[in-house]
Amino acid sequence: MTRRIEIVEVGPRDGLQNDPTLLPTEVKLEFVERLIAAGVRRMEAASFVHPKLVPAMADSGEIMERVPRGKGVKYIGLALNERGMRRAIEARCDEINFVMVASEGFGRRNQNASPEETADLLDRIAILAHDAGIPLSATISVAFGDPFEGEVSADVVAELARRAEAAGAVEIALGDTIGVATPWDVRERHDKVREAAPKARLRMHFHNTRNTALANVFAAVEAGVDVIDASAGGIGGCPFAPRATGNVATEDVVYMLERGGYETGIDLDAMIETARWLETEALKHPVQSMLAKAGPFPRPAA
């Protein structure tokens, strides 16, 4: 039996939130429809942070009202605090993803919290999601390096994972927020997190900022990870490196995994088409996708 790797499409949230182009709600909804048509069954679609901080996500409530329901697609909403958690519940998100930070430098600037404070906060508000019957996941951001402090301790990451699991998170993601991870880091952190949080499902969120994202996906899959974040077209910049790319492109991940014999459920051609639509019609600027430029594995002339 072929092993299945689940792709969590983060384009509509992480992909769009820092894009210079502010998409109208209608176009975002078309994006979601195109992703579903390409086979996506789980996606980050909303972020319940203050609209002044992330204007591109101000319509998250409306998005969640209007996305197609009942097609077996799960929509994830992001929350950084109690208010965000309550809004995500009210918006009927299928899952809530809470963001912890693995380093003080980024934590203070991004959400004014230390690593421990984000774990304390999750402890206090997890019950809201549990009461609402909504699965809770936690992303540990800057888990491989911090833009201000450099090295991040793998032990801190493991301790956050332990606390997330204890708070009832059913899935824990390691986020390489600034794209510095190497596959050796992935293997080391995976093993420590697996030991500290033995029950939670593990997910990995890689940025391709330093070209290592697919190496990291490979290392993660080899280590036993079954859930990978990616964004259509590779959209989503990195505010700490203006010329650099962020999320690894979904179609690039799908290409590698499917050529490697894994099943993702995603149609590569349709995903390449979606990346090209983002580039030419929606965002109207080039995207980072390599598959959209190079095309799939060559098919011999008949």
Binding site for a second copy (CB under 8 A): 105, 145-150, 178-180, 182-185, 208-215, 217-219, 238, 241, 243-245, 248-249, 252, 255-256, 259-261, 290-291, 293-295, 297-301
Shortest Å distance, C-beta 240 to a second copy: 8
Shortest Å distance, C-beta 54 to a second copy: 22
H helices present in the chain, as ranges: 25-37, 60-66, 82-90, 104-111, 115-132, 154-166, 183-196, 213-223, 250-259, 268-277, 291-294
293 in helix, strand or coil?
A: helix
* Residue where the block lists tokens 């201000």: 148
Catalytic pick among 238, 257, 268, 282: 238
125 vs 157, beta carbon nearer a second copy? 157
Q: d(Cα 109, Cα 115) in Å, to the nearest integer?
A: 12
Nearest residue to 189 (alpha-carbon basis) of 214, 147, 161, 209: 161
22 vs 294, beta carbon nearer a second copy? 294
79 vs 291, beta carbon nearer a second copy? 291
Nearest residue to 39 (alpha-carbon basis) of 272, 267, 268: 267
Shortest Å distance, C-beta 268 to a second copy: 11
Nearest residue to 8 (alpha-carbon basis) of 209, 295, 206, 272: 206
Shortest Å distance, C-beta 209 to a second copy: 5
By the 8 A CB rule, do 186 and 154 touch?
Answer: no
Shortest Å distance, C-beta 176 to a second copy: 12
What is the sign of the dihedral through the CA atoms of 282, 285, 291 and 295? Answer: positive
Nearest residue to 135 (alpha-carbon basis) of 23, 59, 42, 224: 42
79 vs 178, beta carbon nearer a second copy? 178
Residue 212 dihedral angles phi and psi, to the nearest 5°? -100, 0
135 vs 183, beta carbon nearer a second copy? 183
Shortest Å distance, C-beta 193 to a second copy: 19
Identify whether 93 is a catalytic site residue.
no
Helix axes 154-166, 115-132, angle to 10 degrees: 20
Q: What is the DSSP letter of 197?
A: S
| Cβ within 8 Å of residue 116, ≥6 positions away | none
21 vs 297, beta carbon nearer a second copy? 297
* Catalytic residue positions, numbered: 238
